[in-house]
Amino acid sequence: MNYELIDSYPFYVEPFHVDFTGRIFLGVLGNHLLNAAGDHSQRRGWGIGALNETRHTWVLSRLSIEMMEMPRQYEHCEVRTWVESVMKLFTNRNFSILNAEGKPLGYARSVWAMIDLETRKPCDLLTLYDGDILNYVVPEEEGFCPIEGHSRFRFREPQLVRTIDTYYSDVDINGHINSIKYIEHILDLFPRQRFEQQSIRRFEIAYKAESYLGDKLSFYEQIIDDNETDIEVRKNESDVVCQAKVCWR
Amino acid sequence: MNYELIDSYPFYVEPFHVDFTGRIFLGVLGNHLLNAAGDHSQRRGWGIGALNETRHTWVLSRLSIEMMEMPRQYEHCEVRTWVESVMKLFTNRNFSILNAEGKPLGYARSVWAMIDLETRKPCDLLTLYDGDILNYVVPEEEGFCPIEGHSRFRFREPQLVRTIDTYYSDVDINGHINSIKYIEHILDLFPRQRFEQQSIRRFEIAYKAESYLGDKLSFYEQIIDDNETDIEVRKNESDVVCQAKVCWR
């Protein structure tokens, strides 16, 4: 492992962080991934705090998680994370999730953009801070992430399956519905039996626009096959907020 | 501090664990308290795992939290917890919440019963395991918890303010709506302005009965005065599940 470029972020699977099958909630796991990403950036001078000084911030665009096995209650695990590549407007960050014996339980891929806080426009990552971020790219042979890239979503005639109001608990420090809460609300669309009989093999989400406290979120479903469902989330019955894919094992 | 009887449980205030004011969500803080309680019991042979062998488990009956100041994003804090007293059917466990400088930010009180997993009836704590729990009681002068005891609730004609469905994310490993989720749903009853203009000084909750995935929860409100509201939660429009008091500063 390249200890200079790949960080390890330990986590413990707390009792209230597991579902009724005793496995960690995917949203909680997603939160650990985002914390690991935040720490990794911060240690290299690219954290939210440092960026704030030049009025920039990271925006999560895509997150795809694929799990062979979900961590169980009371397990000690770790997230490893590194920068896979940097393009002009996006950077790819990968993750692996390991148990206490170092056995990989799953992997994840994410895409991030950097925006200017004043204009809300994306910045050129290759020139920002003199391209410093390129120093943190991990060579492909060292950053092993054997899962597919992000899907392209195509919604034809998805069916409205639920509309919810958003409240205090849904929003983050910026007043936005937080990235993890979308994951929770999307998984809440599935009936109990689904979780009893199957487990999530892969979950993808593409964040398209922000929504805010008080927005109504509508969930549209498009069934791909028995084990795959796409979900589109729209706010106030118009703008697309995010799109997700849930694949069952 | 009595290091033999009082444990310290460190926690860090993660980005997704703060509300739009930048302070920790009360539900997240409650989760840290329950984790601290679980660890403290476990270290003394009274954890869920050990109890399970004799088919017993802890049931949380009351939780009252009073905060002078809510921890902020990125703060390192700690929960201290100890057993205040033991009666035949209940034990009182107290908590203090401190910042990194050791300054108390708040306190909490809780009441727990031990039940037999077969009969679901409470057990006699004074005789269970030969009264071993009495060895862990902290003398009053060492366990400082300067907040009021739990209130007695009296609901006269509370008004129905919201009914919600419960989903996958609401339930714990036992299939019950989890204790923390009630706190979130109760605080979600309050409008944005309330959190912008005031902060929660004290929060109390009394757990009365379990509810399950798929139950409909109805929230009844009784306004005591400008800064105090009682909430009764009923399932499927009949049985009382829990009662809470929210006091604003």
* Residues A41-83 pLDDT 10s: 999 988 888 888 889 999 999 999 999 999 999 999 999 999 9
Cα distance between residue A112 and residue A44, in whole Å: 16
Residues B41-78: tens digit of each pLDDT: 999 988 888 888 888 999 999 999 999 999 999 999 99
Residue with tokens 């469902």: A229
* The predicted structure's pLDDT at residue A150: 96
CA angle (B10 as vertex; B68, B139 as ends), nearest 5:
70
Q: In degrees to the nearest 10, what's the CA dihedral of A30, A32, A33, A34?
A: 90
Task: Show residues of chain A in contact with B38, CB under 8 Å.
Answer: 15
Q: Give me the residues of B, 17-56, that contact A with CB < 8 A.
A: 18-22, 25, 27, 31, 34-35, 38, 48
- Asked whether the predicted pLDDT for residue B178 surpasses 80, the reply is yes
Residue B192 banded pLDDT, cuts 50, 70, 90: very high
CB-CB: which of B73, B172, B192 is closest to A213? B192
| B180/A contact by beta carbon, under 8 A | yes
- Asked whether the predicted pLDDT for residue B186 surpasses 80, the reply is yes
Residue burial A159-192, b: 16+ Cβ < 10 Å; e: rest: eeebebebbbbbbbbeebbbbbbbbbbbbbbbee
Phi, psi of B92 (to 5 degrees): -100, 130
* The predicted structure's pLDDT at residue A184: 98
Provide the terminal-to-terminal Cα distance of chain A, rounded to the nearest Å: 30
| Chain B contact probe: residue of A76, A169, A195 with most B CBs at under 10 A | A169
Mean local confidence (pLDDT), B8-28? 97
pLDDT per residue of chain A (249 residues) written in tens, 0 to 9: 777 899 999 999 999 999 999 999 999 999 999 999 999 999 998 888 888 888 999 999 999 999 999 999 999 999 999 999 999 999 999 999 999 999 999 999 999 999 999 998 999 999 988 989 999 999 888 899 999 999 999 999 999 999 999 999 999 999 999 999 999 999 999 999 999 999 999 999 999 999 999 999 999 999 999 999 999 999 988 899 999 999 999
Task: List, in order of start, the domains of chain A with CATH numbers.
Answer: 7-136 (3.10.129.10), 159-248 (3.10.129.10)
Nearest chain A residue to B13 by CA: give it.
A35
Could you count the other beta carbons within 10 Å of the beta carbon of residue A85?
Answer: 14
* The predicted structure's pLDDT at residue A113: 96
* The predicted structure's pLDDT at residue A236: 87
Cα distance between residue A161 and residue A226, in whole Å: 17
The answer to whether the Cα torsion of B175, B179, B184, B190 is positive or negative is positive
Residues B109-146: tens digit of each pLDDT: 999 999 999 998 999 999 988 989 999 999 888 889 99
Provide the terminal-to-terminal Cα distance of chain B, rounded to the nearest Å: 30
| B15/A contact by beta carbon, under 8 A | yes
* The predicted structure's pLDDT at residue B29: 98
What are the residue ranges of helices labelled H in chain A?
Answer: 26-43, 48-53, 179-187, 192-197
Average pLDDT over chain B, rounded to whole? 95
